[in-house]
Amino acid sequence: RKEVEQDPGPFNVPEGATVAFNCTYSNSASQSFFWYRQDCRKEPKLLMSVYSSGNEDGRFTAQLNRASQYISLLIRDSKLSDSATYLCVVNGRITGGGNKLTFGTGTQLKVEL
């Protein structure tokens, strides 16, 4: 089983639609969780951190379910500019106290007119 799994998509949705992505992780000791956005040929940029209580930032809502070991990202009223690849990232500790960030393969979103 992969450490972090995402559906690669693509998800093709009309403008204004609501779309949700899920991501599962295998290491129950993982410490923190993030969603990143990556545009074509650019570096990933942090979209939002994910907390157990869930967090919302405008049209974006992220949630963490530790019991089931998954995180989700909900995008409401999607815009053309939301078209990108969304990466799920899990931060777990490694032996010696360092961090290990593990990325999912990304979910591609295409928002269409």
Partner 1 sequence: GAVVSQHPSRVICKSGTSVKIECRSLDFQATTMFWYRQFPKQSLMLMATSNEGSKATYEQGVEKDKFLINHASLTLSTLTVTSAHPEDSSFYICSAANRNTEAFFGQGTRLTVV
Please report how close the Cβ of residue 68 comes to partner 1 at its closest, in angstroms: 22
Site map 8..27 versus partner 1, x via CB under 8 A: x-------------------
Q: Is residue 1 near partner 1 by the rule CB under 8 A?
A: no
* Look-up of token digits 């995008």: 75
Backbone φ and ψ for 50, nearest 5 degrees, come out as -125, 125
Kindly tell me which residue out of 19, 84, 89, 111 binds partner 1, with binding defined by CB under 8 A: 89
Kindly tell me which residue out of 30, 37, 44, 109 binds partner 1, with binding defined by CB under 8 A: 44
Contact residues: partner 1, CB under 8 A: 8, 31-32, 34, 38, 41-46, 49, 85, 87, 89, 91, 94, 96-106
